[in-house]
Structure 1
Amino acid sequence: MHEPEFKAVDPRKRFLLWFVPPLAVFAAGLTVLLVSGHVTGPFRHITVVRAMLASKRDFFQDEQVKRILMARGYQVHVTPVGSRDLARTPDLDSYHFVFPSGHVANEHVKARRTGKHAVPFRPFFTPVVLGTFREYAEALVKAGVATPYDRGEQPFYYNLDVDQFMKLVVAHKRWSDYKLANGNRVIIQSPDPCKAYSGAVLVGFLASAVDDNPPQTVADAEARAREVKPHVDAQGQAGEDMAPKYFAPEGPTHAVIAVIYEHQYLAHQLNRRGADKERVLLYPTVQHQSTPELISFSPEGDRIGELMMTDPALRRRAVELGFHSLGWNGATEQDFAGHLTGQGLPEPPSGETGRVALPKAELFERMLDVVGDCR
């Protein structure tokens, strides 16, 4: 019978056998993170940039955009506000940059910054469009005021003749007149024109339907506004952003036709696993492209603006969020259409029709005051 054997194991070897494999895995992982720049993030200096933004704040609130900026050493603290309120805020100078949505607010901000640091950047644009639902778009086709843009049995985009559409509005037509269960009036719902730029653009759309020529005097602007006002008042109390209501599951009960931005619709479609075939866009025969300006008040704001214009990751993310990227010379970059078609979404008719002629900033401001009873 053999006696049992006992082996003495050096505790140092046992420790190494247990510790070395995990250490090797950790070291390899650390190397990858260091190369990618993720580990250094918590240890590097992060510059917090204060910004006041209108509807384009959804770009800076995107999680991927936040990560990209953090990797570059910046964190943007967003204060949300409507474009017109932004331009009038008393503490405007306390921010590093602002990002209003339209030219009226842009001009007000620049006027207030006369003689001070005010550097504009135009990284992208997005058209103001009308979001609706397929059955309502088809009803407008039957009414002779809309036509499908993209081919196929279920188009995503339709052209809308605003002049002819306004005849339906003036005649107090109801959706039930076109064999729909909805007995409400055919109207467009928008954000408050006193606060949101997209709401203001609707006033411009309706004013152009009254007369293609923009008003040239204060008296003309007030008279045009009084013609438009009943059609804006018909929608009832307005909020600051129609997109949340339009994209909600019960969207048709909130807003049959809603003024939104094209990028909001495209982002909605691109973020889904399958296309939302119920929601479609109406493109007015006279379009308006919102080309927001990031207006910097400081070196920190300048750096964010420069990154928006040059950083490949931010530029790519802007397209993924539905924006048309613009270069330094204002030319549209060509990756927009390719990205959409690559995701199975047809290219929209952005910029293919005439542009709505908005009045001069001060006259347009007066029109908005009259239409919205702004205070």
Structure 2
Amino acid sequence: MLVTVDTGREEKALSQVRERLVNAYGETHSADRVDAVVGAARKRFEGHKIREFVPILVERIVRRELEPRTGDEVTERITASVVGANPDAGRINSEPSQRNTDWRTLARDKRVLGGLAAAIVVVLAVAVALGTGGDSETVPGTGATSGATTIRGVVGSEKSAFFEDPRVGEVLARHGVKVEVDPAGSRQIATTVDLAKYDFAFPSSAPAAERIQRQSGVSGKYTPFSSPMAIATFTPIVELLTRAGIVTPGPVPTFDVEKFLALAERGVQWDQLADNTVYPVRKNVLVSTTDPRTSSSAAMYLAAAAYVANDNTIVRGTAAEEHAVSRVSRLFTRQGYTENSSDGPFKEYLSSGMGPTPMVWIYEAQFVEAAAHGQLKPDMVLMYPSPTVLSQHTVVPLNDSGDRLGKLLTTDPDLQKLAAEHGFRTADPTQFTQVAGRYQVPVTPQLIDVIDPPDYETLEHLLDGVAKSYN
């Protein structure tokens, strides 16, 4: 006869398990971390008809995850917890010399046989849960079993490499999760992508995330990591713009947005800069960006430029919006063709060099990640605009599966460490600085001249104003 339990009792037992675990591991693991591990352990038993021992097994598996033990020890402890209340059951294993006598005696004792049957069920279930038996298929490249939950999302293209990293897949697989993503420009995600087929959206800025939340009626969000906006350029360009008074040199050069805006408004071309022998081309001095109508990185460039154009004040109100657009729209319209996501112009920077792209607006993480993969050439330089904007990479969960992933990305220490390996700044700042130091990328550990982007409505008005300037 199958041993079953009603849903209410199981939920109550699991709630008590969760409370015990939070109390037991509160000093070393956050409540979110415990919840994530409990959820992953519980997933292993979906579809199983025998439910009586699920809370027990979940608790043991979580304790194993949070405080590792050998499989034999876990099995031994679970078996003891089930049969320990019956001394005779324990003697079956501990006194083999009396086995024949004991079996004849125990055969007359239904209670002992019941305890023994329960013990066997638990031990067999533990073997399955710990991966010591069964014929689960492994998903190639991830280590996940075929029973892993697939979570689909649409993400800013600069995060594609993170999700494609086999190490990230392995960590997610340990939680019973497999993630599939489609890349897109962050503003494109917020405006034109059909989100109905996804479990989560992962744009690269708080304003884009806010728009998605409003459209989807979602209140929750997670910000597992961030990246300040920066400029990828070349040593000769830094030296040239230093002579022009736009760049302040140093181990980490800074780019004065206010002085640059004044120069751009006059329509100055590269070959008009004094003593320019390194890049004497007849085109406007501009920073290459993505398309502000589809990409969040360009929207962050607009936010920084509009702040400067508005007398170094966050833009508010119709008059300020119109004034800012009149000053900054040419930074975009004079570029010519622009791509939809930040991956495009940065790849051109890496492959084509100074000729087509002397300065590219990027996420700092892209430069650090390129260094980690040996893609940088000796004269490539990371330069910080002053002021800059911090891009908050924000997960918007569109259902429970998306919420589960948002929690994992934010709380799992291995995923946080891997995010730093891909150049992102996490809750622990030392993770990022250690990665940057390892690959010899000069960075500013704590940026000071950072502004907040304008509120959601204002940024939308600015973007609409720039879009109209293209016509």
Verify same fold: TM over 0.5. Answer: yes
**CA shift in 2, pair 1:50/1:42, >3 Å:** closer
Contact 2:137 2:145 in 1 (8 A): no
Contact 2:227 2:392 in 1 (8 A): yes
Contact 1:44 1:73 in 2 (8 A): no
Cα separation, 2, equivalents of 1:190 and 1:286: 17
In structure 2, the residue corresponding to 1:252 is in which secondary structure? coil
Q: Which moved more, 1:135-144 or 1:86-95?
A: 86-95
**CA shift in 2, pair 1:194/1:368, >3 Å:** same
Contact 1:66 1:75 in 2 (8 A): yes
Q: 1:39 offset after TM fit, Å?
A: 6.3
| Corresponding position of 1:338 | 434
Contact 2:144 2:176 in 1 (8 A): no
Cα separation, 2, equivalents of 1:189 and 1:342: 28
**CA shift in 2, pair 1:81/1:342, >3 Å:** closer
Cα separation, 2, equivalents of 1:323 and 1:232: 27
| Corresponding position of 2:301 | 202
Q: 1:175 offset after TM fit, Å?
A: 2.7
Cα separation, 2, equivalents of 1:227 and 1:339: 38
Q: In structure 1, which of residues 247, 254, 259 is the aligned counterpart of residue 350 of structure 2?
A: 247
| Corresponding position of 2:447 | 352
Q: 1:44 offset after TM fit, Å?
A: 4.4
The structure in which a higher percent of residues are helix is 2
Q: 1:196 offset after TM fit, Å?
A: 0.5
Map 1:118-133 onto structure 2 (within 5 A).
118-133=219-234
Q: In structure 2, which of residues 164, 179, 191 is the aligned counterpart of residue 88 of structure 1?
A: 191
Q: Given the alignment of the two structures, is residue 238 of structure 1 paired with residue 338 of structure 2, yes or no?
A: yes
Map 1:30-179 onto structure 2 (within 5 A).
41=143, 43-58=145-160, 59-89=162-192, 91-114=194-217, 116=218, 118-150=219-251, 157-176=252-271, 177=273, 178-179=276-277
In structure 1, the residue corresponding to 2:253 is in which secondary structure? strand
Q: Which moved more, 1:193-202 or 1:42-51?
A: 42-51
Q: Given the alignment of the two structures, is residue 310 of structure 1 paired with residue 411 of structure 2, yes or no?
A: yes
Q: 1:323 offset after TM fit, Å?
A: 0.6
Q: 1:120 offset after TM fit, Å?
A: 0.9
Aligned-pair Cα RMSD in Å: 2.5
Give TM-score, length-normalised by structure 2.
0.64
Cα separation, 1, equivalents of 2:367 and 2:431: 18
**CA shift in 2, pair 1:218/1:181, >3 Å:** closer
**CA shift in 2, pair 1:340/1:55, >3 Å:** same
Cα separation, 2, equivalents of 1:163 and 1:355: 14
Contact 2:153 2:198 in 1 (8 A): yes
Q: Which moved more, 1:56-65 or 1:140-149?
A: 56-65
Q: 1:364 offset after TM fit, Å?
A: 1.2
Give TM-score, length-normalised by structure 1.
0.79
| Corresponding position of 1:16 | none
Cα separation, 1, equivalents of 2:138 and 2:184: 34
In structure 2, the residue corresponding to 1:192 is in which secondary structure? coil
Cα separation, 1, equivalents of 2:335 and 2:145: 52
Q: 1:267 offset after TM fit, Å?
A: 0.5
The one-letter amino acid paired with 1:127 is: P
Map 1:192-341 onto structure 2 (within 5 A).
192-211=291-310, 212-240=312-340, 241=342, 242-248=345-351, 250-272=352-374, 276-326=377-427, 332-341=428-437
Contact 2:138 2:146 in 1 (8 A): no
Contact 1:101 1:293 in 2 (8 A): yes
Structure 2 unaligned residues grouped into runs of 5+ = 1-130
Cα separation, 1, equivalents of 2:188 and 2:138: 40
Contact 2:305 2:328 in 1 (8 A): yes
Cα separation, 1, equivalents of 2:146 and 2:234: 48
**CA shift in 2, pair 1:56/1:180, >3 Å:** closer
| Corresponding position of 2:280 | 182
| Corresponding position of 1:369 | 464
**CA shift in 2, pair 1:295/1:56, >3 Å:** farther
Cα separation, 2, equivalents of 1:197 and 1:72: 31
Which one has more relative contact order, counting CA pairs under 8 Å at least 6 apart? 1
| Corresponding position of 1:30 | none
Deviation track 1:279-309 (CA, whole Å, cap 9, x = no partner) reads 1122111111101111112221122112212
Cα separation, 2, equivalents of 1:283 and 1:42: 40
The one-letter amino acid paired with 2:453 is: L
Q: 1:254 offset after TM fit, Å?
A: 2.5
Cα separation, 2, equivalents of 1:353 and 1:46: 43
| Corresponding position of 2:86 | none
In structure 2, the residue corresponding to 1:111 is in which secondary structure? helix
In structure 2, the residue corresponding to 1:253 is in which secondary structure? coil
In structure 1, the residue corresponding to 2:182 is in which secondary structure? strand
Q: 1:124 offset after TM fit, Å?
A: 0.6
Deviation track 1:314-334 (CA, whole Å, cap 9, x = no partner) reads 1111111111112xxxxx432
Contact 1:205 1:356 in 2 (8 A): yes
